[in-house]
């Protein structure tokens, strides 16, 4: 199903029979976009989230997808990170390393993790400075329409409350308009200290895959994609990238649609 959303790129929704089918569809989507961007600009900038998304990337590290991807062209970033050491069980870097990065030949120098020796505020400043330098050197594109960095693909998950990245319902950070990267010290989901890309950065990306499986997010999926009359806008409803928002759902996640 594809439709155009006013003021933004198109939105597509795929409902896959099983979570296994979802992982295959996501691997194909990511591999196809990797080939497109490597051909067009010689690099592919990919932003990961934490949580369940990493498990859904398991088919990408297997043939035929793993063999077709030019891993040396990948540059990897995080949409959000918890302010904990990189080897901590809550670290999004550790989750991605164990479940994905350690299984493919991405160059270690092309993996942009946060500096885990800094405070939340310091780590957010440091990550923003790093991305500004990569924009200057043309590794990360700049959106001509917004002036914010334009990543090629963000692979996002969503929490049961409709949060994306570390942007939670009702939190003032969802309204941030200036910063590229900001920090939160009172995250309602532990751990409390995190850094996160802001909505202007998320929505300046070219493509976003929104990946949701299982029963936990059924109501938030219904609010985002169904005809639910919820009075409060969920963070996930604010996601509108420049070219395409592609939802990947399994049947359970889509059961109220």
Which residues of this chain interact with ligand LXAUTJHC, rule CB under 6 A? 49-53, 80, 92, 156-159, 165-166, 189
Instruction: Return the residue matching tokens 């590794």.
Output: 139
Give 221's strand partners: none
Residue whose beta carbon is closest to ligand LXAUTJHC? 51
Q: What's the min distance (Å) between Cβ of 56 and ligand LXAUTJHC?
A: 9
Cα–Cα distance measured from residue 95 to residue 58, given in angstroms and rounded to the nearest whole number: 12
Q: What's the min distance (Å) between Cβ of 137 and ligand LXAUTJHC?
A: 26
DSSP 184-223: ES--SSSSS-EEEE-HHHHHHSSEEEEEE-SSTTHHHHHH
Cα–Cα distance measured from residue 31 to residue 69, given in angstroms and rounded to the nearest whole number: 6
Q: What's the min distance (Å) between Cβ of 75 and ligand LXAUTJHC?
A: 18
| Cβ closest to ligand LXAUTJHC, residue 43 vs residue 76 | 76
Q: H or E segment at 15?
A: strand 10-16
| Cβ closest to ligand LXAUTJHC, residue 122 vs residue 188 | 188
Cα–Cα distance measured from residue 137 to residue 140, given in angstroms and rounded to the nearest whole number: 8
Nearest residue to 181 via CA among 201, 208, 164, 152? 201
Q: What's the min distance (Å) between Cβ of 39 and ligand LXAUTJHC?
A: 29
Tell me the C-alpha to C-alpha distance, in Å, between residue 170 and each of 76, 145, 196, 228.
29, 27, 16, 18
CB 85 within 8 A of CB 118: no
| Cβ closest to ligand LXAUTJHC, residue 52 vs residue 65 | 52
Cα–Cα distance measured from residue 217 to residue 62, given in angstroms and rounded to the nearest whole number: 28
| Cβ closest to ligand LXAUTJHC, residue 51 vs residue 99 | 51
| Cβ closest to ligand LXAUTJHC, residue 159 vs residue 241 | 159
| Cβ closest to ligand LXAUTJHC, residue 86 vs residue 189 | 189
Neighbours of 129 (CB within 10 A): 12
Q: What's the min distance (Å) between Cβ of 47 and ligand LXAUTJHC?
A: 10
Q: Cα-atom radius of gyration of the chain, to the nearest Å?
A: 17
Q: What's the min distance (Å) between Cβ of 157 and ligand LXAUTJHC?
A: 3
Q: What's the min distance (Å) between Cβ of 99 and ligand LXAUTJHC?
A: 12
| Cβ closest to ligand LXAUTJHC, residue 131 vs residue 156 | 156
């Amino acid at each position: 199903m594809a439709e155009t959303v006013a003021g933004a790129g198109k939105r597509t929704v795929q409902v896959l029979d099983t979570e296994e089918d979802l992982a295959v569809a996501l691997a194909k989507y990511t591999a196809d976009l990797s080939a497109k961007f490597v051909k067009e600009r010689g690099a592919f900038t990919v932003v990961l989230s934490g949580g369940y998304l990493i498990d859904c990337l398991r088919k990408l590290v297997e043939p035929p997808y793993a063999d077709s991807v030019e891993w040396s062209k990948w540059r990897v970033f995080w949409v959000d990170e918890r302010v904990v050491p990189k080897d901590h069980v809550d670290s999004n870097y550790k989750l991605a390393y164990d479940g994905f990065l350690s299984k493919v030949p991405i160059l270690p120098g092309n993996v942009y993790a946060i500096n885990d020796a800094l405070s939340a505020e310091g780590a957010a400043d440091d990550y923003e400075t790093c991305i500004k330098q990569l924009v200057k050197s043309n590794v990360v594109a700049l959106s001509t329409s917004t002036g914010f960095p334009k990543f090629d693909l963000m692979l996002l998950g969503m929490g049961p409350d409709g949060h994306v990245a570390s942007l939670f319902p009702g939190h003032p950070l969802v309204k941030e308009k200036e910063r590229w990267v900001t920090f939160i010290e009172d995250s309602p989901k532990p751990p409390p200290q995190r850094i996160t890309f802001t909505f202007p950065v998320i929505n300046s990306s070219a493509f976003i895959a929104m990946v949701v499986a299982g029963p936990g997010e059924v109501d938030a999926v219904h609010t985002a994609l169904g005809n639910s009359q919820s009075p409060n806008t969920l963070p996930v409803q604010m996601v509108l990238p420049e070219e395409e928002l592609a939802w990947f759902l399994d049947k359970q996640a889509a059961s109220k649609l």
